[in-house]
Amino acid sequence: MLLAPPIRFKFAVFLSLASAATASTRAEEPSPSPTTVAAQRPNVVLIVADNLGHGDLSCYGCPDIPTPNIDRLATQGVRFTNFYANGPECSPTRTALLTGRYQQRAGGLECALGSGNVGRYDDAIWLAGQRQLGLPPSESTLIALLKQAGYRTAGLGKWHLGYEQHFLPPQHGFDYFLASLGGTIDYFYHNEPDGTPALYENNRPIRRDGYFTDLITDGAIDFLRKQPRNEPFFLYLPYTAPSAPFQHPDRQPDRPKISTAWDTSDWQAGTRDVLRAIIQRLDRGVGAVLQTLDETDQAATTLVIFCSDNGAYPIAASNAPFRGYASELFEGGIHVACMARWPGRLPRGVVDDRLGMTFDLSASILAAAGLEPPAGRQLDGIDILGQIAAEKPAPSRTLYWRARRAERTWKAVRDGDLKYLSRQDAGQFDEWLFDLARDPSEKSNLIAARPDDVNRLKQLLAAWEQDVQPARKRPGN
C-alpha cells in the first residue's frame, strides 16, 4: 500500500511534551454555574483506554502505578464500582458504544477483528469474505445523531471496527478522525504486528512521527483550543494504551516491531515497569486534556467520561480483585474502571455501585444532548448518568454477554447479585454460578448447590439470545 506523504492534522498545533507534563500537575477544579450548565447541551469528551486492568489505576486500589489525573477526574465526579464492558474484547465493546445496543444485533462483531480485517469465528469469517466485516454505518447511532444535532465530531486513536472504506470513521459521522485501524499498533512506527502500516487520517493512509499516546493527546489539545464557543463538540479519544506492544514512551527502538503470524510472543511480552510507564503516559495525556478544558473555559460545560473497553490480558497487568482476563467472561475480563465528570449536573466525589455497562454511556450522552434514538431502533443502554444527576435510585436490571472466537463461545448473565456463565470450547462445556455480593472474586462455584437459580438464569439468557438476532446472517443460519 502506498502511503501519502506526511501531512499535518487539521487541528495541527501540538503542545510540547513539557507543556503536557505541566498540565498533569494542575489540580484546579472548574466552578460552573449549575443554571448555565443545565440550560445548554454539553460538550462531550469520551476517553477509552485499551485493555486497562481494573487493578491498574490508583483510584481503584493500585499500589504501584500513580494515576493522579485520572484520580482527579474521579474525585471531581462519579466513580463507578460495578461497571461492565459490553464484551471481553475490543471490537464488541466499541460496537456497543457507537450503537447504544448489544453488539450481537449488528452481526459478526462478537470477537475482536484480527489484524488486516481477519474474521475469527464463522459469522465474522463469512462477512470478511463478503468485504462486510465491520460496523455498518446503518447500525451506528451515537455519532450520526450528534452530528445531525450540530455537534462537531472528532476522534483520535483506535478504531477497530473495520478496515474497508465503507466502515471507516467518516462514514459514521466523524468530521475528523486520526485512526489506528486495527487492534494494536507499534506505538512509534504505527504498524501492525506483521509490519503493515495502519494509521489513517479520515479515509486515507498517512505517516506520523511520535509516540501514539502523545499524538492522540496533542491532537486533542489542538482540537479543543480551536473550538468555537457557540457550537457543541464531541471528542472521542480511544487510546491504544496500555495495550501491547509494551514499548516504553521514552525509549524509541531503531526499527518497527514486527512479529510473524505464527509467533507474536515478542509482541506480547512486557514487564510491570514498562506497563507502569505506558499507563502513566496515558494519565499525563488525560491531565493535559483536562488542563486544556480549564484553560479554554470549557470545563464547566463539558461532560468528561473515562472507561476501559475490557479487562487486561495476563501480561504484567492486574485485574484485581477479580478473577480472569480479557477474552473471558469472568469478572476480570469485563468488570472495568469507569468515571464521569459533568460540573453542575453530576455530584462531586461520589462512588456509585449501581450496575452499569458500556452502552449506558451512549444512552447517557444522547440524553445529555437532548436526543432520541431513531424510530425502530430502541437503545439497550440506559441513561445512567441522568439517573445519578436526578438522584434516582438504581433500577434493577439484568445484563448479558456472549463472546465468540473460533470454536469457543462464552455466555454470561448477571441478575441482581447472581451471575451464571458458561464456556463451550471444542466439545468441552463448563459452567459456573457465583454470588458476586459474597464472592466478587468468583472462587466458589454454586452450580450444584442452586439448580433452580441456574435454570432461571439459563432461561433468561436463552430469551435474550432470541431477542438479539443479528441484522446480518450467514445464508442458512
Judge: domain 42-399, CATH 3.40.720.10. Answer: yes
Residue whose C-alpha is closest to residue 401's, from 336, 320, 314:
336
According to the model, what pLDDT value does residue 200 have? Answer: 97
Which residue is catalytic, options 62, 111, 160, 307?
A: 160
DSSP letters spanning 103-128: GGGTSS-SSPPBTTTB--SHHHHHHH
What lies within 8 Å, CB to CB, of 37 at 6+ separation is 300, 301, 342, 343, 344, 345
Half-sphere exposure of 170 (CA within 13 A, CB side): 11
According to the model, what pLDDT value does residue 264 have? Answer: 65
CB distance 340 to 346 below 8 Å: yes
Distance (Å, whole) CA 224 – CA 17? 17
According to the model, what pLDDT value does residue 262 have? Answer: 55
Q: Is 160 a catalytic residue?
A: yes
Which residue is catalytic, options 54, 62, 90, 338?
A: 90
Element (H, E) at 205: strand 204-205
Element (H, E) at 157: strand 152-158
Mean pLDDT by 10 residues, the chain (477 residues): 36 34 38 44 98 98 98 98 98 98 97 93 95 96 96 98 97 97 95 94 96 98 94 97 96 90 71 97 98 97 98 95 98 98 97 98 98 91 98 96 97 98 96 98 98 98 97 79
According to the model, what pLDDT value does residue 412 have? Answer: 98
Q: Residues 53, 59, 60, 63: is their CA dihedral positive or negative?
A: positive
Residue whose C-alpha is closest to residue 192's, from 272, 299, 116, 78:
116
What lies within 8 Å, CB to CB, of 173 at 6+ separation is 137, 140, 143, 144, 146, 147, 148, 153
Q: Is 59 a catalytic residue?
A: no
- Render the burial of 328-344: b for 16+ CB within 10 Å, e for the rest: bbbbbbbbbbbbbbbbb
Joined grid coordinates for residue 148: 445531525
According to the model, what pLDDT value does residue 259 have? Answer: 83
Every domain of the chain and the residues it spans? 42-399
Joined grid coordinates for residue 170: 467518516
CB distance 404 to 111 below 8 Å: yes
CB distance 198 to 208 below 8 Å: no
